[in-house]
Structure 1
Amino acid sequence: MRLQKRGRLLLLLKLIVVLGSLWMLILLSHPKTGWDPTHILGYRWLEYTDADGGPEKVCNCSAILQGEKEALVQAKLLSITREFHKSVRIPNEYYIKATQDCRKFRISRKYISFPLSQEEEDFPLAYSMVVHHKDFPLKTNLEIVRLLRSLRGGNSLESEKMSERKKWRVSNVHQIVDGKIQGIGKAKEPPPFNLPILSGNSYIVVNRGYIRSVLEDTRVQALIEWAKDTYSPDEFLWATIQRIPGVPGSTWPNPKYDMTDINAIARLVKWQWHEGPQGSLQAVYPECHGNHVRAICVYGAGDLQWMLEQHHLFANKFDVDTDSIAVYCLEKYLRQKALAELY
């Protein structure tokens, strides 16, 4: 995948993107190539068909996305069936062989590598990605463009007061010893410029000015240097920069401007301790229909209807070894929606 370097890079979105799925969907705007609406009729070949493979022959994605109970039960049963997993699993050898001819591979997989509308052509996106295999899109490229434009130059990322149980991460000096991060029993100096340290994560939506500040602002440079011997700096660095006065798209450091991961649009995640039965006023979101890894929900097909009702751009976590139906139905939905937006 190429990082778009030409054209106007108006926003940078740092997200973990799912890789390795047979039904992978990546929608990226390319530099200006002269979008021509007469080419729309030629996009029919991008539609998914039964010949492209996938679990659709044994499950009903439309019914799953509408939350129909019978379809969800069938999907759940399939997701725990060894024979089904074996039939949809794609060996690494397939990718090694198939990607030897890059052009042929892109065509056979029906990757969308060009803008599908003038609106997307005029608003190219830049993605900085940690290459991983589990944070899949919930929106089409056009929907992402429109959501980012609605920010009117603002940023969207988790940035809130750091809890007491996390403060040890920034109040003690850490070093890597024998491949592991551990404290050395030394207290850290206060942060530079008396900057308040905020809590967040590494999934952010920020504008170009924010990135320029990261590279050029002396306050940010001093903060980055100070953070080098802390524990997991990506979980507070971007959130703190977002609250530095003068950084483009930032918000004031007063707690009134705190933003949680639920309100930020970058990533949707279900934490096990925030789940609850449907209708519970204490729960942040409904119970996970997949399983949990380190207290994070690995989504199942039963989570899809709820997920698509949220405003987030991407979701974490998916795993084709846990529930390939969830990944397949979500990608099929996005592909159909992206092409439907053409007409």
Structure 2
Amino acid sequence: MTTTRSTKCPLGRTKCSFLLCLVVSATVFLVIQLTEITAREPPILAPLPCRPFSDQCQAFLPAADGGIKWHRRDCQIERYITDKNFQCSNLMADLHFITRPLSQEEADYPLAFILTVHKELELLVRLLRAIYAPQNVYCLHVDAKAPREYRAAVQNLVGCFPNVFLSSRSETVTYAGFSRLKADLNCMSDLAASKVGWRKVVNMCGQDFPLKSNLELVRYLQSKEWRDRNMTPGIKQPPHIEKRTKLQYKEIVGSHVALIKKGVKKDPPPHNLDIYFGTAYYALTRDFVHFVLESPKARDLLEWSKDTYSPDEHYWVTLNHIREAPGNNIGGGWEGGIRAVKWEDQEGKVHSGCNGRYVHSICIYGMKDLPWLIKTNSMFANKFENHFFPEALDCLEQWLRNKTLGNASVPIESSWLLATRGNSNRDA
């Protein structure tokens, strides 16, 4: 016969029940706290496989012995920037930004850049990385109608750089509207007050990409032809363009620009100015920027331009043909080579065709467009899209970085390399 013996708590049943309850409660509390701490920790991002370089790209990169190819190190830009827990202290190295002037020549001639952006976050980061140098200064105008998440990501990005900032005022930009001109002027006002001693300012959009290294830009802008002059490609306004400035237009904010009624005529230009027609893109001296911001003629032309069509295509080039404007180019035409663009209506004349696709009559570049781009001797190329023909930008970016580092007069840091040579892909 087996006797079952009960184990009695030496403290008494009531006290033991209380202690058991206390232990269980403490255990549950500890589990909850550990769960919350784990939830607050940033998730570890699993590395993504890098998109390989196109076989056609290898022709643009320095040859490697034994058929060893170049492999991209950088494939998670957007994930990195949108991660709310990313650390500025790591960003420069992780995203391969160049952190020192690569020559004394560049250090002595800082540039200013205006970037107007509203989409394509990864393209923006790659563009900024391509034109970035610590001696330069950069103003980013983010369209007021850009998604909140996009603006927040850009704000986080620029917060990591002492020489990159957002425009103090954002416009709701309308294609061909006065708001597009205002976006540039907002950044110009900010840059005019900058303590960086920049020499010339260049404007770009988020789908541009440079074809020249920073050293090449400095040398080009200091060349005999352009050293003390503004670059505003354009000509006297042709007859078929005159309606843009002889009739009144209204900007439908964030939508489009439309004629007022059936065409209301404008008053003649102020100060009897001759109106020119050109590109919206430029390279301007600092003295000219002060003239734009302070001259009565410039202010009056700006006011007169508010109800014109695409005023940024006449404003800069017209001011650059005023005799008292610093660095004026009164006898200038289309020279300058600011941007390489394949316009659809120039196919068979200026270029042999678009190897990507046309969007609004402008070529989105593909791989087979790169030889043409590289031969143009332009400063920048327009345009690229991240989700269409991304291999073209991969290749152009690596070609430019190789050229940039190849001309450096300082030791190269490993974090500046966008790609390495090897037998297998290496992720960043």
Taking structure 2 as the reference length, the TM-score comes to 0.57
Residues 277, 318 of structure 2: 8 Å contact kept: yes
Counterpart pick for 2:387 among 321, 326, 332: 321
How many positions carry a matched residue from both structures? 260
Query: Which residues in structure 2 correspond to 1:205-216 (within 5 Å)?
Result: 205-216=283-294
Quickly say closer, same or farther: Cα 1:207–1:342, change in 2 above 3 A. Answer: same
How far residue 286 of structure 1 moved from its aligned partner, in angstroms, is 2.5
Counterpart pick for 2:245 among 161, 170, 181: 170
Secondary structure, aligned partner of 2:375: coil
Deviation string 1:246-301 (CA, Å, 9 cap, x unpaired) is 2112122xxxx3422xx22221111111122xxxxxx1122111110111111111
Counterpart pick for 2:231 among 150, 156, 167: 156
Counterpart pick for 1:140 among 205, 208, 213: 213
Secondary structure, aligned partner of 2:208: coil
How far residue 220 of structure 1 moved from its aligned partner, in angstroms, is 1.1
Deviation string 1:147-168 (CA, Å, 9 cap, x unpaired) is 0110121122212122323211
Quickly say closer, same or farther: Cα 1:90–1:258, change in 2 above 3 A. Answer: same
How far residue 55 of structure 1 moved from its aligned partner, in angstroms, is 3.6
Q: Distance in 2 between matches of 1:171 and 1:239?
A: 17
Aligned to 1:238: 316
Within the alignment, does 1:61 sit opposite 2:84 as a pair? no
Residues 156, 265 of structure 1: 8 Å contact kept: no
Quickly say closer, same or farther: Cα 1:216–1:108, change in 2 above 3 A. Answer: same
- Matched letter for residue 129 of structure 1: L
Q: Distance in 1 between matches of 2:48 and 2:401?
A: 13
Q: Distance in 2 between matches of 1:166 and 1:99?
A: 51
Residues 56, 367 of structure 2: 8 Å contact kept: no
Counterpart pick for 2:333 among 256, 259, 276: 259
Runs of 5+ unmatched residues, structure 1: 1-50, 67-87, 277-282
Secondary structure, aligned partner of 1:249: coil
Aligned to 1:118: 104
Aligned to 1:305: 371
Larger gyration radius, structure 1 or structure 2: 2
- Matched letter for residue 242 of structure 2: K
Secondary structure, aligned partner of 1:321: coil
Aligned to 2:257: 181
Q: Distance in 2 between matches of 1:97 and 1:284?
A: 44
Structural RMSD (CA): 2.5
Residues 60, 399 of structure 2: 8 Å contact kept: no
Taking structure 1 as the reference length, the TM-score comes to 0.70
Deviation string 1:213-244 (CA, Å, 9 cap, x unpaired) is 10121111111111111111111101111111
Within the alignment, does 1:108 sit opposite 2:94 as a pair? yes
Residues 342, 351 of structure 2: 8 Å contact kept: yes
Runs of 5+ unmatched residues, structure 2: 1-46, 63-73, 118-204, 410-428
How far residue 94 of structure 1 moved from its aligned partner, in angstroms, is 4.3
Secondary structure, aligned partner of 2:116: strand
- Matched letter for residue 266 of structure 2: K
Query: Which residues in structure 2 correspond to 1:67-78 (within 5 Å)?
Result: none
